[in-house]
Amino acid sequence: MHIGPIELPNRLFVAPMAGVTDRPFRMLCRRLGAGYAVSEMVTSQRALWKSLKTSRRANHDGESAPIAVQIAGVDPAEMAEAARYNIDRGAQIVDINMGCPAKKVCDTWAGSALMSNEALALRIVEAVVAACAPLNVPVTLKMRTGRCDAERNAVRLARAAESAGVAMVAVHGRTREQGYGGLAEYDTIAAVKAALHIAVVANGDIDSPAKALAVLQHTGADALMIGRAAQGRPWIFREIAHFLACGERLAPPATRDVQRWLLEHLQDHYGLYGELAGVRTARKHIGWAVRALPGGEAFRAAMNTLEDCAAQTRAVQTFFDELADRHPVLPAANDARHALQA
């Protein structure tokens, strides 16, 4: 699997998710089987580049190659400048956000709202490609199927992006209007794949190894992008990789392994965010990790009252110590919940 001249170890990608796929989470997913991970979206507005939020999103310390940064905005010149800015800070691949359905993003006509203005969308693609090409940095595009059921223009926009020099297109199988509701559909992704010569990535509702195989077979996609299913379950990437390789489900991880992965993730997380922000932003990651485990809901409620990193770490350590005594292998409830959705 290649993106331009860059070879990837496999075709399982971490979807860029604002507020989730920061550097610690990307590195954890890569350790547990993902072949590629894209940063949270970085604004193209120069005035915000030195803000704490943007500086954290642009932090790639210790992250293994390739470094991929997603940029978001509506002005072609600003987007080109943002691409160069992030390349100067280590980006080896630049991804254009035309997939985010969040209201605060779409209200500025960025994200998936750009799909409703194909002329502007194409000018942005052309400007970013022109900025990246001299530096031999490939450009990718993340998009949705269209604005709504009646306006699915993914094939047309993807063709134009390919002609403009984009190296890969990722398609989330929902419209902007759907947000994250309803079910993803894969016919549009299959149509995009059939229409293009560059790599196409399928995204949306891929939450089990069996679902991953089914989506690959239905769409013919070159790779899979997984988002929400990796929250609290980052080992889903190695589960899918194993299933695609040999057709068998991988055994659930040992509870002690999950404990170790989470504690290491928390230390990396605190290192990026500091004490005050770190303990608060870590709550969601801990909550995702325990939500389907015995006693998880009660633990999450208690953990959310803790106000320092050391106490939070001790609470996680104790919870998994007690869980491991009863369940040396992670209980099946977490897997069963996902299997029902497949």
Residue type, 62: G
Residue type, 304: N
Handedness of CA 81, 82, 88, 93 (dihedral sign): negative
Say what the alpha-carbon torsion angle 220, 221, 222, 227 is, to the nearest 10 degrees: -150
Residue in 29, 100, 106, 132 annotated catalytic: 100
Q: Are 169 and 160 in contact (CB under 8 A)?
A: no
Predicted pLDDT of residue 22: 93
Predicted pLDDT of residue 101: 62
Please give the distance of CA 288 from its chain centroid, rounded to a whole number.
15
Predicted pLDDT of residue 108: 58
* Bond into 9 cis (ω within 30): no
289: number of CA atoms within 13 Å, CB side? 26
| Angstrom distance (rounded) from CA 309 to CA 113 | 39
pLDDT digits (tens, 9 = 90+) for 243-286: 999 999 999 999 999 999 999 999 999 999 999 999 999 999 99
Strands 93-98 and 2-3: unpaired
| Angstrom distance (rounded) from CA 66 to CA 163 | 24
pLDDT (tens, 9 = 90+) of the chain, 342 residues, equals 899 999 999 999 999 998 899 999 999 999 999 999 999 888 888 777 777 777 777 778 888 899 999 999 999 999 999 999 999 989 999 999 987 766 665 455 467 788 889 999 999 999 999 999 999 999 999 999 988 788 889 999 999 999 999 999 999 999 888 888 889 999 999 999 999 999 999 999 999 999 999 999 999 999 999 999 999 999 999 999 999 999 999 999 999 999 999 999 999 999 999 999 999 999 999 999 999 999 999 999 999 999 999 999 999 999 999 999 999 999 864 443 333 233
Strands 2-3 and 6-7: antiparallel
Say what the alpha-carbon torsion angle 12, 286, 17, 48 is, to the nearest 10 degrees: -140
106 is catalytic: no
| Angstrom distance (rounded) from CA 166 to CA 3 | 10
37: number of CA atoms within 13 Å, CB side? 28
Annotation: CATH topology of 2-246: TIM Barrel (3.20.20)
Residue type, 203: N
Domain limits of the chain? 2-246, 255-326
- 335: which 2 tokens? 């897997």
Widest CA span in the chain:
60
pTM of the model: 0.90
- 213: which 2 tokens? 């195989």
| Angstrom distance (rounded) from CA 82 to CA 71 | 7
